[in-house]
Amino acid sequence: MSGIAAEIGPGHNSGPDPGPDSGAGFDVERVREDFPILARQIYGKPLVYLDSGASAQKPRAVIDRLRQVYEEEYSNVHRGAHFLSGLATDAFEQARSTVAAFINAGSDEEIVFTRNATEAINLVAHSHAGAFLKEGDEIVISAMEHHANIVPWQLLRDRLGLVLKVAPITDRGEFLLEDFEGLLGPRTRLVAMTHCSNVLGTVTPAKEIIRLAHDRGIPVLLDGAQAVVHGKVDVRDLDVDFYAFTGHKLYGPSGIGVLYGKAELLDAMPPYQGGGEMIETVSFEKATFKAAPHRFEAGTPPIAQAIGLGAAMDYVSGLGIENIARHEAELLGYANERLAEIEGLRVLGQAPGKAAIVSFVIDGIHSYDVATILDRAGVAVRVGHHCAEPLMARFGVEATLRASFGLYNTRADVDTMVKALNKAKSVFG
């Protein structure tokens, strides 16, 4: 098993029969056929998609499921006595069960559907931290957070007078567990930490982080937007209190995210937004609210998107997340080897067991210019600060290029990128 999968933890494998490609073999060429968009050309060249960390492409299983929902099963959910409403509700709630099984939650009631990981974190900031924390209380994050796991806490800090503490990392992007432990004090009320850095690929030692926090009675939220894609996540094995992730990076539709929360924590939390779907009774004097998770799902939810996410998880489970992790780890090794051949290229983040996310800069050439040459070669990467400006400042750069690998990438993709990088060097160097 790869370091990534091992780090994220053993766990549950749900979904349909894995089929002949799981187990020892992972036939990437066959897998690629499941993704229609990979057949298209960009500027007359085959698409090399290395931006799955921003958003992954969708397999036919997801696309077909979405079409089926809209063509055959669509209606609003949790209301109405008609046939289609029942069908849509069943499919929607089945998706919740699929999500629960995918991350090995204790029950479906621990799965809250949100728009994305950002909203999931904001939900915790509002209804957990916002409800229970007081002036002077402390929240610990890390130096490699996405803005989505910084700004909600800053807003809350400013509103309630909280203190935000930042756990440091090494120059190689390794999480410093002892330094983190030193930040946990009598006023620490929450740890909100990435499970995998979207820039460095560093997988944080989540089990140890959670153990250290729990020893002091502190709950932990993990931002799993990247981690859940690259390896097995088992929320019960981790003993994590809240786990946030999004569907669109997991080969599912955009507009659907997930907040896992331990039942006792969710049950104690006040609503996030008010509206339909989340109430039991309403009069002009007062309203009473449903139990979790529906209490946190005001308004018509993203119905087809949730069902599509279920299809994506079935697809990933069918391939086997361990097989995907192994394939990606092999690709990461190859990418690191090839990138090391390019003079003046510096990779940010070399933590052991990291996920297949490679951020880099080339001396003397603006990353934006490099990305343009890559784009002209059909290679899609991300360029910029990756919604992690404090981390950019930590490494003394304003922007990096980021190649983030998915289950459909190949060694040939790496070769095409390296060739285009060499061209960029000749054009701008």
Partner 1 sequence: MALERYQEFAETLEAIDDEEMRFEYILDLAKRHRDDPFPEEWMTETNLMHGCMSKVWIVDRPQDGRHYFRGHSDAAIVKGLVSMMTEAFSGLTGEELQGLTLDHIRRLNLGALTMQRQVGMMAMLKHLQKLGRPDALAAAGSRPESPVRA
Q: How far apart are CA 31 and CA 21, in angstroms?
A: 9
* Contact (CB, 8 A) for 321 and 5: yes
Site residues for partner 1 per CB under 8 A: 43, 365-366, 368-369, 372, 375-376, 383-384, 398-399, 427-428
387 is catalytic: yes
Q: How far apart are CA 384 and CA 101, in angstroms?
A: 35
Catalytic residue of the set 263, 342, 387, 397: 387
Which residue's CB is nearer to partner 1, number 123 or number 348?
Answer: 348
Q: Which residues, listed in sequence order, are joined to residue 359 by a DSSP beta bridge?
A: 348, 402
In this structure, the number of other CB atoms found within 10 A of the CB of residue 410 comes to: 17
Q: Shortest gap between Cβ of 19 and partner 1 (angstroms)?
A: 39
Q: Shortest gap between Cβ of 42 and partner 1 (angstroms)?
A: 11
Three-class DSSP labels, 150-168: CHHHHHHHHHHCCEEEEEC
**Run of H or E including 192:** strand 188-194
DSSP string, 244-312: EEESGGGTS-SS-EEEEE-HHHHHHSPPSS-SSSSEEEE-SS-EEEPPTTGGG--SS--HHHHHHHHHH
Q: How far apart are CA 11 and CA 228, in angstroms?
A: 12
Q: 140: helix, coil or strand?
A: strand
Q: Shortest gap between Cβ of 47 and partner 1 (angstroms)?
A: 15
Q: How far apart are CA 103 and CA 126, in angstroms?
A: 24
Which residue's CB is nearer to partner 1, number 268 or number 387?
Answer: 387
Two structure tokens written together for 36 = 């229609």
Helix axes 151-160, 117-124, angle to 10 degrees: 20
Residues identified as active-site: 387
